[in-house]
Amino acid sequence: MTFHLLLDPKGRVNFFGDDLLEWSGHNTSQLRGSSITEFLDTGDGATVQRFLDDRSAKLEVRSAILFPDRDEPHYADITLTRTDQQGGMIMVSLTILDQQAQKLKEVNADLFAGQLSGVIHLDASGKVTSINKQLTADTGHTLSTLQQGALTLIPPRYRYKVLKCFAEARTKGQACTFDMEAVTDRIKLLHVNLTIIPVLLNGRAIEYYLMVSNITERVSLQKNLKKLSLVADKITDGVMVLNSTFEIEFINDGFTQISGFTFDDAIGRGLNQVLSLGNEGAERTAEARDNLTNGRSMELEMQCEKKDGAGYWNLLRLTPIMNEQGKMEMCVVIHTDITEKKMAELELRLLADDLYRQNKELHQFAYIVSHNMRSPVANIVGLANLLEIFKDDPETQSQTLAELTKSVNNLDTVIKDLSYILTVNNASKDLLKEPVNFQDMLQQVLIDLQQPILLNDAEITISSKPLIIRTNRAYLHSIFYNLISNGIKYRSRQTPYIKIDHYQTNEHTVIYVADNGKGIDLNKHGHEMFKPYKRFDFKVEGKGLGLFLVKSHIEALGGHLTVKSELQKGSTFYVKIPLL
């Protein structure tokens, strides 16, 4: 609905139609000569007055308008346009927005009608217009008693705070909530939460709802928690109480000592937020929540974080407290710092793993000793016997001594190899580590392998991306010396081609060496390829120690080795070295 008016330069109504007279309820003498600012909201009236004083060309404003014969304000879009820039007559277009405001009120009325809390409705001027049944059930007050004076519900010590909140809701459009005591019809005090909610249309409050929620049970629970806190504060373990929605309502000093979180830090937050449990922890606590809501206690060992970010192990014992209806009313959580216990378990497990590894390596070493030393020792014994038998035959003795020398040299080689294997297996995690320029180290490896590279016309491609690794230089040199050497040695019919590149993960630097050699049947040999003295191609000279040493060196550096390979299509070895 739109009306048109004509104002004189001072903003007085000069011309209007009969439709405005009919809608407003005014007669001609009441409306003609009145200032338009008389019918507008105070703030918007001042805006229009500035338009008149400044002789501006055009103004658009949305305002509440009120004619004396209409019961309540109506909202309208108002456009004022000067017909003459020099200060002549002003054309006004007035578009009423009653239907929008009425629809908003109906929607909100339906929304609040089903509330389980008490509800009081006030109009734009702050007058009580209706209440719901729950408010009467909780407080005993009726609509007529509250219309006589809504403040009868509010004890004197809370009235200033309520009026201040109502003023903020009216002027700023902000909701306000706080706990207080309300006066019932029997002059008794009832613990409630009061929430004042303004309903806004185009940025202005057109009505208000007061939510009055009975919180007697919550206050009683808090009093019980206070009593519990007197006991809990004497306990060295952490004590936490969660409400029915698993929000923290209480912690004791023991929990503060364990985690560093104060009472104010924790209250109202979830268990996962305070303990920084992460995704895995959140999944486990979600499972625990299902058990607790069904009345089943739980124990969980979780890795948590203190307020300062330090990690610790926490044993959580969760016990649900059920009400008469069988629903969880609260949950008591006992926290015990078990970091020392978990560290002892970890050390014990690492020790057991180390003992298992050493025992396995000892069996393997014993096999190597018996297998690899048997032949040269048997040869030496046999040749020594021949020397005794043919001591008078110079020619035979000469030949026997030559063979004896070979056997002794073979035995010496085996002993050196075994000594080196022992050295690698016993490598400490405290190896000297230093920043190593990977490209520079590779250039030294290629210099050392210059002869086989030239003889086989091998092509080797190295990534130009810079890489600095904090590691042991000698071990890194040995790893890539053996991998590149194997890529050339076990060549296919093609010219050897080896590619070396690297990339980063969150935890490792990964360097891969890819070749186009003969490849390895991993299904057949994969479980043995990193064992010492294991060879699968006897056409190529070697001892079978290269890959064993590569894997041993990498593990001594705290990393690990994986391989992808296919016969006649080459192999790719992935060297993963930890970032720290």
Give the pLDDT confidence score for residue 113 in this predicted structure.
60
pLDDT-derived band of residue 322, with 50, 70 and 90 as boundaries? confident
> Which run of H or of E encompasses 416?
helix 394-425
In whole angstroms, what is the distance from residue 58 CA to residue 76 CA? 17
Residue 468 pLDDT more than 50? yes
Q: Give the tens place of pLDDT for each residue, 360-390.
A: 656 555 545 554 566 567 778 888 888 888 8
CA–CA distance, 517 with 456 (Å, rounded to integer):
12
Q: What is the pLDDT of residue 235?
A: 65
| 52 touches 71 (CB < 8 A) | no
Q: What is the pLDDT of residues 53-96, one digit of tens each?
A: 888 888 888 777 777 656 566 777 788 888 875 567 888 888 77
Is residue 127 scored above 80 in pLDDT? yes
pLDDT of residue 43: 73
The SS3 of residue 187 is: coil
What span, in angstroms and rounded, lies between the C-alpha atoms of 339 and 303?
9
More confident residue, 126 or 107: 126
pLDDT at 429: 47
What per-residue confidence (pLDDT) applies to 544?
58
Checking if the pLDDT of 226 tops 80, the result is no
- Rounded-to-integer distance, Cα 319 and Cα 337, Å: 18
HSE-CB of 335 using CA atoms within 13 angstroms? 26
Read off the tokens for 210: 């007061």
Q: What average pLDDT does the segment 341-361 reach? A: 76
Find the angle CA(459)-CA(461)-CA(465) to the nearest 5 degrees: 170
Q: How many helices (H) and strands (E) does the chain have?
A: 19, 22
Q: How much is the pLDDT for 204?
A: 75
Please report the pLDDT score of residue 104 as a whole number: 53
Give residue-wise pLDDT tens across range 426-465. 554 456 778 889 999 898 888 888 888 988 999 999 988 8
Closest CA to 325 of 481, 217, 448: 217
DSSP class per residue in 444-475? HHHHHTHHHHHHTT-EEEE--S--EEEE-HHH
- Quote the tokens at residue 524: 């057949």
Higher-pLDDT residue of 538, 474: 474
pLDDT number for residue 45: 83
Q: CA 168, CA 379: separation in Å to the nearest integer?
A: 104
**Neighbour tally for 366: CB within 10 Å:** 10
The count of residues in the chain is 580
Averaged pLDDT for residues 228-249: 77
Q: Give the Cα separation of 87 and 54 in Å (integer).
A: 10
Q: Is the pLDDT of residue 100 over 60?
A: no
Lowest mean pLDDT among 4-8, 57-61, 223-227: 223-227
Average pLDDT over residues 402-420: 72
**Mean of per-residue pLDDT scores for the chain:** 81
pLDDT tens figures, 128-165: 888 888 888 899 999 888 988 888 899 999 999 998 98
Q: Note the pLDDT of residue 363.
A: 57
Quote the pLDDT of residue 374.
62
The pLDDT value given to residue 68: 61
pLDDT at 342: 87
Q: Is residue 513 scored above 60 in pLDDT? A: yes
CA distance 535 to 542: 8
Select from 103, 111, 289, 316 the least CA-distant residue to 197.
111
